[in-house]
Amino acid sequence: MAAPPTFFDERKIVACYSILNEAETIRQSLISVYPHVDKILIMDGAYEGWPSPEDNSTDETLQRIQEVEEFFGLGKIKLQQYSRMTQGEKRNKLFTANRPGDILLVLDGDEILFGNCLSLYRDQFTSMKCSTIGYVRVLHWRGAWDWRPRIFVACSDLKYDHWFRILHGDQVICDLKANPAPAPSPDSLFFNGFGVVNLHLGYRSKERDEAGNVCKEQMLREKWR
């Protein structure tokens, strides 16, 4: 007789988004990640102090999300709307809105996942503790690859102290300002088999603007399944 499933066997992989007005890129982002996760949690809403009158997305973001769900038809996407929370408050909900122990892949609405299927890493995900951070290579069209904390275990003890600092309880487990180049440790895992492309165009020269726009148009094509 097969052994009953354990807590770790039942862990889900959840893609988590915090977005506002991402109509230009959210469809392609979701298409790139949908086949590789068990669930997608999208939190839509403006941060506190955001210089805009609308509290939630007013472009075609929600329509694009619905189009992706209808295309795949597996009921993976869950949309929640919030307004005028601080960035930390909104991002911290990602840790508590999911089932404790689930594996969270945190993405922005203008990012595309590529590389080997996430499901190939379920064994490594199973070894993660609440204090473990998974680092993923993020390519910015500004010109560099950076290791960024993007994979977490859902846990109420985790919280963003700021966008660059993450705590487990009272202990700082990630501080990108103090340590912009994180090194391997017992509480960190580095995933080389897949990565993320960030399409935000924040360039420092005309040449980078032109090159970035060319790359962005290529990445926005729909062949991400």
**What domains, with CATH codes, occur in the chain?**
13-219 (3.90.550)
Between the CA atoms of 59, 149, 5 and 39, what dihedral angle is there, to the nearest 10 degrees?
A: 10
Helix (H) or strand (E) holding 161: strand 158-162
User: Can you tell me which residue has the tokens 């690859």?
Assistant: 145
* Range among 50-54, 108-112, 218-222 rated most confident: 108-112
pLDDT at 4 > cutoff 90: no
29 CB neighbour count, 10 Å cutoff: 29
- Please give the Cα distance from 38 to 98 (Å, whole number): 12
CA diameter of the chain? 65
pLDDT at 225 (0 to 100): 44
> Which pLDDT score is estimated for 117?
75
Residue 1 has what pLDDT? 37
Read off the tokens for 157. 């003890």
* Helix (H) or strand (E) run with residue 199 in it: none
What is residue 213's predicted lDDT score, i.e. its pLDDT? 64
Helix (H) or strand (E) holding 27: helix 26-33
Instruction: Tell me phi and psi for residue 141, to 5 degrees.
Output: -70, 0
For CA atoms 25, 73, 119, 41, the dihedral sign is: positive
Quickly state the pLDDT bin for 71 (edges 50, 70, 90): very high
Residues 7, 99: Cα–Cα separation, whole Å: 11
For residue 169, the model assigns a pLDDT of 93
**Residue 8 confidence (pLDDT):** 46
pLDDT in tens, 111-155: 999 887 777 888 888 889 999 999 999 987 666 678 899 999 999
pLDDT tens, position by position, 170-217:
999 999 888 888 877 888 999 988 999 988 755 445 555 565 566 566
Six token digits for residue 130: 């609440």
- Indicate the length of the chain as a whole number: 225
Question: How is 90-148 classified by DSSP, letter by letter?
Answer: HHHHHHHSS-TT-EEEEE-TTEEEEES-GGGGHHHHHT--TT-EEEEEEEETTTEEEEE
pLDDT of 18-51, one tens digit each? 999 999 999 999 999 999 999 999 999 998 888 8
Model pLDDT, residue 7? 43
Average pLDDT on 103-107 reads: 95
Euclidean distance between CA atoms 157 and 75, whole angstroms: 29
Distance CA 35, CA 56 (A): 27
Tell me if 33 sits within 8 A of 113, measured CB to CB: yes
Q: Give the pLDDT score at 47.
A: 86
